[in-house]
Amino acid sequence: MNEQPRLTSLAHGGGCGCKLAPSVLRELLAGQPLAQAFPQLLVGTETSDDAAVYQVDENTCVIATTDFFMPMVDDPRAFGRIAATNAISDVYAMGGRPIMALAILGMPIDKLPPDQIREILEGGRDICHQAGIPVAGGHSIDAPEPIYGLAVIGLCHLSELRRNADARAGDALILTKGLGVGIYSAAIKKGALDQAGIDEMIASATTLNRVGADLAKRADVHAITDVTGFGILGHGLEIARGAGLRLRLSLGALPWLSRAQELAQAGYFTGASVRNWAAYGAEVALPDGTPDWQRHLLTDPQTSGGLLVAVSPEAADAVLALIRDAGLPLAAIIGRAEEGPAGIVVA
């Protein structure tokens, strides 16, 4: 009887670590037409935001996004759940609420049995059920590596739309989930993470970022983005560039998954972490003598990571309490936005 292959062994990368490097993506999108010809397109590709947003009437906006990747865990249902949570997050990061999803599926049907593929789809459907939305259709192909994700449609009131480019000088920065998912996935691929660690990572990556829709109702929350494949530095830079501000992050305030620093010091990191630093390291100032393992943590690709929120400083403690009460206990105030050239200073 043939032994079924590990899901992660069928893919050259996994999770949001599969994303193209930020520099490559900017090069590919250079010269694309801007949205001026479509005045109702409120958010396009200009600031590398999380989703497209189109205004349909004086109050209502439609949010559209798609996200898919290769497995970073071997359990097929967990893979489906993580991929779905990650895709839906883009709608929450814009301040919206999802209304439906379409499945995107590419599978090596000669290598994976139908029951495993069905488990992936069921995992995605589980998360959509938690989010209160149907999987209303989709598209599938025979592919050399397993790929799964969703296209998600959401709605928001115009006043609750939150871009990644609207941070203000003085804003406090809050991160809602612990970092280290890419480090954990690298350890999983090499068989070096125990079940407790795998369970911790899956629990984080399958926690919906639905708090984003609640935060967007607050006028003192100015900008939101989700932290995924480009790491905390890469997605922080998108906020900095969009707002024309400098972000100052406190290394000691960053929240981590429980074994992230230990595993990073032991040499577990992804190729995406290296590509991320090569793409944007010139825009980041790190403390003198920062070791490589610490830099890998800061550029670590987060699959279904947390939200990075820019909020008025006087409201920061109240917003942090709201986020923790929503089931995100690792949420922390990690820095602030300030006047200065666009970039990030880590201290």
**What's the CATH number where 128 sits?**
3.30.1330.10
**Are residues 180 and 40 both part of a single domain?**
no
User: Is 1 inside a domain boundary?
Assistant: no
> For 218-270, what is each residue's pLDDT tens digit?
999 999 999 999 999 999 999 999 999 999 999 999 999 999 999 999 999 99
- The answer to whether residue 165 is domain-embedded is no
Decide if pLDDT at 30 tops 80: no
Instruction: Clarify whether residues 329 and 230 are in a common domain.
Output: yes
Specify binding-site residues. Answer: 19, 47-50, 67, 90, 138-140, 226
- The answer on pLDDT for 26 being more than 90 is no
The reply to whether 193 and 334 lie within a common domain is yes
Is the same domain home to 129 and 187?
no
CATH number (domain holding residue 288): 3.90.650.10
Same domain, 139 and 182: no
What domain count does the chain have? 2
Pick out the residues of the known binding site for Mg(2+): 50, 90, 226
Say how far apart CA 121 and CA 128 lie, in whole Å. 11
Q: Is residue 327 part of a domain?
A: yes
pTM of the predicted protein model: 0.92
Report d(CA 115, CA 319) in Å as an integer: 43
- The first and second tokens of residue 284, run together, are 């980041």
- Look at residues 112, 129, 160 and tell me which one is the last residue of a structural domain: 160
d(CA 272, CA 296): 9
Same domain, 317 and 242: yes
Residue 177 shares a structural domain with residue 299: yes
% of residues, the chain, pLDDT over 90: 84
Cα distance between residue 159 and residue 10, in whole Å: 44
- Asked whether residue 166 is domain-assigned, the answer is no
Q: How far apart are CA 336 and CA 311, in angstroms?
A: 9
HEC profile of the chain: CCCCCCHHHHCCCCHHHHCCCHHHHHHHHCCCCCHHHCCCEEECCCCCCCCEEEECCCCEEEEEEEEEECCCCCCHHHHHHHHHHHHHHHHHHCCCEEEEEEEEEEECCCCCCHHHHHHHHHHHHHHHHHHCCCEEEEEEEECCCCEEEEEEEEEEEHHHCCCCCCCCCCCEEEECCCECHHHHHHHHHCCCCCHHHHHHHHHHHCCCCCHHHHHCCCCCEEEEEECCCCHHHHHHHHHHHHHCCEEEECHHHCCECCCHHHHHHCCCCCHHHHHHHHHHHHHEECCCCCCHHHHHHHCCCCCCCCEEEEECHHHHHHHHHHHHHCCCCCCEEEEEEECCCCEEEEC
pLDDT digits (tens, 9 = 90+) for 159-217: 999 999 999 999 999 999 999 999 999 999 888 999 999 999 999 999 999 999 999 99
Domain shared by 262 and 318, yes or no: yes
Specify whether 185 is located in the same domain as 137. Answer: no
Q: Please say which residue of 126, 160, 194 terminates a domain.
A: 160
Point out the domain boundary residue: 160, 182, 203: 160
Confirm whether 128 is a catalytic residue.
Answer: no
What residues make up the domain containing 42? 7-160
- Going by the annotation, the residues of the binding site for ATP are 19, 47-49, 67, 90, 138-140
Q: Which of 16, 18, 61, 156 is catalytic?
A: 16
Do both 154 and 15 map to the same domain? yes
